[in-house]
């Protein structure tokens, strides 16, 4: 596909380095048997993914030109034309599955929130993101990049920052660096608190991250009279995931 046509695809930046493509694919756990690729575009990852033995493999692509290209060059590939954010995964997989992709940067956070919503089904994610987003997901407490996704995903996944990807390996080159991260489900199946409340508490704390949790949670109308001052006097970025669970339990006891 020529450069002009490549630029027509959703304004995306297409990976052209085959070594990096292979490295991304090789980052998937060998045990993965059910796999969904998001936004395959011209198949730079796809051509390596179809080589994986005994894999139940599907791709989801929104752009019609990309879909036509995939049907032409990968006729045996199961291509779902649609939006990942609105997919019914039960139509593809009866068991847990993994996700891989060179994700469009404009919806990468939405993809990760969807992973969190489907955490009972999504066993692993290997993806390329804008470096800033990758660092945010992999960050720990005390870091300025530590945020909502760090806590929500970190509660259920072991997150690894794998490697940085330079701008020069894309066509056209983006203005930012990229990075590949891997999320693997940890042993946590259920949190010892109301998980919906946990999500709301984490979001409320970071939505006003410059404020102490006392002020941030009070502004969001959470009952905090039973929450210890040790927690309320901190800002959201200072709390570990276990502390956020404790915070949720205290708020739950107030309701």
Neighbouring C-beta atoms of residue 152, cutoff 10 Å: 24
The whole-number pLDDT of residue 12 equals: 65
Place of tokens 């109301």: 194
* Of the candidate ranges 5-19, 112-126, 224-238, the one whose mean pLDDT is the lowest: 5-19
Mean pLDDT score, 175-197? 96
**pLDDT-based confidence at residue 55 (cuts at 50, 70, 90):** confident
Is 5 a residue whose pLDDT tops 80? Answer: no
**pLDDT-based confidence at residue 36 (cuts at 50, 70, 90):** very high
Mean pLDDT score, 96-116? 94
The whole-number pLDDT of residue 6 equals: 37
Instruction: Quick: pLDDT tens for 204-217.
Output: 999 999 999 999 99
**pTM for the full predicted model:** 0.92
DSSP state of 212: B
Mean pLDDT score, 160-180? 92
Burial class (CB in 10 A: 0-12, 13-18, 19+), 41: buried
What does 46-93 look like in DSSP terms, one character per residue? HHHHTTSTT-EEEEEE--HHHHHHHHHH-TTS-EEES-GGG--GGGT-
- What does the alpha-carbon distance between residue 151 and residue 204 come to, in Å, rounded to a whole number? 12
Compute and round to an integer the Cα radius of gyration of the chain.
20
**pLDDT-based confidence at residue 241 (cuts at 50, 70, 90):** very high
Close Cβ partners of 125 (under 8 Å, ≥ 6 residues apart)? 98, 99, 100, 112, 115, 157, 181, 182, 183
The whole-number pLDDT of residue 104 equals: 85
Domains within the chain, CATH numbers bracketed: 3-185 (3.40.50.150), 195-254 (1.10.8.100)
Looking at the chain, the whole-number percentage of residues with pLDDT higher than 90 is 86
Looking at the chain, the whole-number percentage of residues with pLDDT higher than 70 is 95
Mean pLDDT score, 171-191? 93
User: Using N-to-C axis directions, what is the helix angle for 241-254 and 195-207, rounded to 10°?
Assistant: 110
Nearest by Cα to 96 from 67, 127, 125: 125
Instruction: Quick: pLDDT tens for 6-15.
Output: 333 434 678 8
């Amino acid at each position: 596909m020529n450069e002009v046509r490549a630029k027509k695809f959703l304004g995306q930046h297409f990976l052209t380095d085959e070594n990096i493509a292979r490295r991304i694919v090789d980052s998937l756990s060998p045990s993965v048997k059910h796999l969904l690729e998001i936004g395959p575009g011209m198949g730079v990852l796809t051509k390596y993914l179809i080589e994986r033995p005994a894999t139940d493999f599907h791709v989801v692509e929104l752009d019609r030109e990309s879909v036509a290209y995939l049907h032409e060059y990968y006729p045996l590939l199961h291509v779902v034309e649609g939006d990942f954010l609105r997919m019914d995964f039960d139509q593809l997989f009866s068991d847990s599955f993994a996700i891989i992709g060179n994700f469009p940067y404009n919806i990468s956070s939405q993809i990760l929130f969807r992973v969190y919503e489907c955490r009972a089904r999504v066993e692993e994610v290997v993806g390329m993101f804008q470096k800033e987003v990758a660092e945010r997901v992999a960050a720990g407490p005390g870091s300025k990049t530590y945020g909502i996704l760090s806590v929500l995903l970190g509660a259920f996944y072991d997150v690894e920052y794998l490697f940085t990807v330079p701008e020069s390996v894309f066509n056209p080159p983006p203005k930012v660096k990229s990075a590949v991260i891997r999320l693997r489900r940890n042993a946590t199946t259920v949190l010892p608190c109301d998980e919906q409340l946990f999500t709301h508490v984490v979001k409320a704390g970071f939505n006003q991250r410059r404020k102490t949790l006392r002020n941030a949670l009070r502004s969001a109308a959470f009952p905090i009279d039973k929450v210890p001052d040790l927690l309320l006097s901190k800002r959201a970025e200072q709390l570990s995931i276990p502390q956020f669970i404790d915070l949720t339990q205290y708020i739950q006891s107030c309701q």
